[in-house]
Amino acid sequence: MRFSDFSSISPFADKLGTNYIPSLEEISDIRGLLMDPTEELGRIQAQIDEMEVIVGQLKAKHSLLKTAIDAHQALISPIRRAPEDVLQEIFLACLPTAHNAIMHPSEAPILLGRICSHWRAVAHNTPMLWRSMHISLPFVYDDHHSARLEVPVTLGKVLKQWLERSATCSLDVSLSDASLYESHPHNQPVPHHPIYQLVGVCRRLRHLTLVGRPFVLLPLLTIGSESLPLLKSLRVRTTDSGAITDYQDMTNALQSASLTDISLSVTADPLLLPLQWSQLTSLNLSCFRLWTPGQEGGLDGIRALEILRRCPNLLRCKLRMTRDEDAPVLTSDTSPLILADLHTLIFRGGYRFHTWIPHLHVPKLRCLQVGEARYTRRFTGIPIQDAFMRAELDTAFFASSSPVLELLHSFPTISHLQLHSSGFSDLSLVDDAFLVHLHDDDLCPILTHVTFTPEVGTGPSDTAVLAFIRARMGGPTPLHHVEVNFLREMEIDIMPELRPFISDGLQVTLNYPELSRWKLDARAGLDEPHWE
């Protein structure tokens, strides 16, 4: 009998794989039938076991031989003969580009010194490798007193070596302190903190980022501006509600004569900050309201206008609105506000952007965002010609459609337009009537890319979207891409009407949610406690 086709010649072949129940006589026949195949199966398994032993021995010999070959090949590896200057360039290319170097053994530059003694010597004697650093103090509960002292001391030892290896290079430093220090007096610095070592090299600081409670950052921020001759950018985010102006001389560092890039997320009145406004090219402000009686602070549209007037050389500006526009007019100056080189302007915050600034002239503006961002990565990643402009508008920051239309009229070079609602408003600004305004080429005459995401249960009808696309495709500048993210069910299918345009190259994406009345969760309640 050939056992390879045993199943096909078995008298029980038609019963295999079924629910057939054999009789006692058939059970005896099946057992007799399986005796020879079972013995053959055992012989085959024995052969397999023998071959696996042989294969295992061959693998062991292969591994030993390969290890020896690899060791010899390593001796003639080109990297061993690389000149020191070439090796240094390779090391520098290993540093992160999106952030400062991390103080961790698995990251460059520390990792580079863990390969061999030669690499370690080269790495430790290449100051440019150590010119950037990120210092992170973890969250430690306040009652763990020994841990709160141990972490800064340990980091201080690493930082000391790091700074020594950087020699005289200018420094890019970011420090993030998540510790509590609740029991420490708020008017005194924290002992053994790494920030004191940064004070010792303050004249070499070029780019500085500080995150923590104000009294922790005091040693650096109270340094006189003359002690920061190289400081180009400064980013400060305080992690409590205390105003930085409550700490004496804490804004000294803001007055550095070389500072051109500033980013602040603090509790303060922005107009009282002693910044060298006229020399700034990049500004990012999130100034929150003061709750001290008689003080206000925070940022609204009026203060934003005044800040822009103080900064004629801005290239990038991001302002977070943190209060309603209820303050009196701070200036009577109604002359044109010209920001000749500004290319990025972002207004964020939690209040409506009630009015547009009619006398703001920004001839080089290429990126405008108002409200909370939704498409930022996709928005900033679109290649765009210099003569065109991207605009992302959160309609929840406008009291009506009129200021939105006024804004669009003010910027005829908008080619990429994205409108969405962050949900702060019950209004539906992007509706049928709004789309009718966009039919006319007088509004955004070179518009080619459009994305609409209205609020839940609102937005334009399917027929209004169809009419908008038809009107634009018939104009001198046809659309290239249309995306509408409906938050309702489809009314009618307009895709068949759009096929001629799609054949000509138009990209259309119409997203509708999958709505259901209810969904059964059969496991719901299993984890609830059983009360007796």
| Chain segment 54-91, per-residue pLDDT in tens | 999 999 999 999 999 999 998 888 888 899 999 999 99
The answer to whether the beta carbons of residues 336 and 363 sit under 8 Å apart is no
User: Are residues 263 and 234 in contact, defined by beta-carbon separation less than 8 angstroms?
Assistant: yes
The rounded mean pLDDT for the chain is 84
Highest averaged pLDDT of the listed ranges 160-169, 282-291, 404-413: 160-169
Q: What is the pLDDT of residues 418-451, one digit of tens each?
A: 998 876 555 568 888 999 999 988 899 999 999 9
| CB 134, CB 126: distance < 8 Å | no
Measuring CA to CA, how many Å separate 219 from each of 195, 222, 274?
7, 6, 18
CB–CB of 221/210 below 8 Å?
Answer: yes
pLDDT value of position 385: 58
Q: What would the pLDDT profile of 324-363 be if each residue is shown by its tens digit?
A: 655 444 444 567 789 999 999 998 875 555 555 666 889 9
List Cα–Cα distances, 29 to 11, 26, 35, 275, in angstroms.
Answer: 10, 5, 10, 99
Structure tokens at 239: 């992690």
Range from 126-130, 194-198, 262-266, 458-462 carrying the lowest mean pLDDT: 458-462
Contacts of 169 (CB under 8 A, 6+ apart): 127, 128, 130, 131, 204
| Model pLDDT for residues 372-408, shown as the tens digit of each residue | 776 554 554 455 556 789 999 888 878 788 888 888 8
- In the chain, the amino acid numbered 13 is A
At 454, is the secondary structure helix, strand, or coil? coil
Q: Which pLDDT score is estimated for 327?
A: 45
pLDDT at 2: 59
Fold of 366-513: 3.80.10
Separation of alpha carbons 371 and 351, rounded Å: 9
Instruction: State phi, psi for 189 to the nearest 5 degrees.
Output: -65, 165
**Cβ within 8 Å of residue 130, ≥6 positions away:** 101, 109, 162, 163, 165, 166, 169
Distance between CA 167 and CA 131 in Å, rounded? 9
pLDDT of residue 26 exceeding 70, the answer is yes
| pLDDT 10s digits, 463-472 | 999 999 999 9
Average confidence (pLDDT) over 167-194: 76
Ordered by start, the domain boundaries in the chain are 3-75, 260-344, 366-513
Phi then psi for residue 80, to 5 deg, are -70, -30
Rounded distance, CA 371 to CA 318, Å?
A: 11
417 in Cβ contact with 389 (< 8 Å): no
pTM of the model: 0.78
Residue 295 confidence class, pLDDT cut points 50, 70, 90: low
Nearest residue to 179 (alpha-carbon basis) of 209, 140, 213, 147: 140
Question: HSE on the CB side for 513, CA within 13 Å?
Answer: 11
- Is residue 443 within 8 Å of 477, Cβ to Cβ? no
Helix axes 462-473, 495-503, angle to 10 degrees: 20
- Dihedral of the alpha carbons of 217, 219, 222, 223, in degrees to the nearest 10: -130
- Provide the pLDDT confidence category of residue 244 given band limits of 50, 70 and 90: low
How confident is the model over 92-108, as a mean pLDDT? Answer: 94
Residue 195 DSSP code: H
pLDDT tens-place string over residues 245-276: 566 677 888 899 999 999 999 888 888 888 99
pLDDT band at 121 (very low <50, low <70, confident <90, very high): very high
Segment (H or E) for 346: strand 344-349
As a whole-number percent, the residues of the chain with pLDDT over 90 amount to 47
**Window from 94-108, 205-219, 419-433, 496-510 with minimum mean pLDDT:** 419-433
The residue ranking higher by pLDDT, 192 or 65, is: 65
Give the model's pLDDT for residue 330. Answer: 44
**Residue 168 predicted with pLDDT over 80:** yes
- Report pLDDT for 42: 92
DSSP classification of residue 297: B
Q: Tokens for 274, please give them.
A: 């002693």
Angle of helix 84-93 relative to helix 117-124, nearest 10 degrees? 80
Task: With residue 308 as reference, give the H or E element that holds it.
Answer: helix 301-310
- Residue 148's pLDDT band, with cuts at 50, 70 and 90, is low
**Interval 139-145 mean pLDDT:** 56
Torsion of CA 134, 138, 139, 142, to 10 degrees: -110
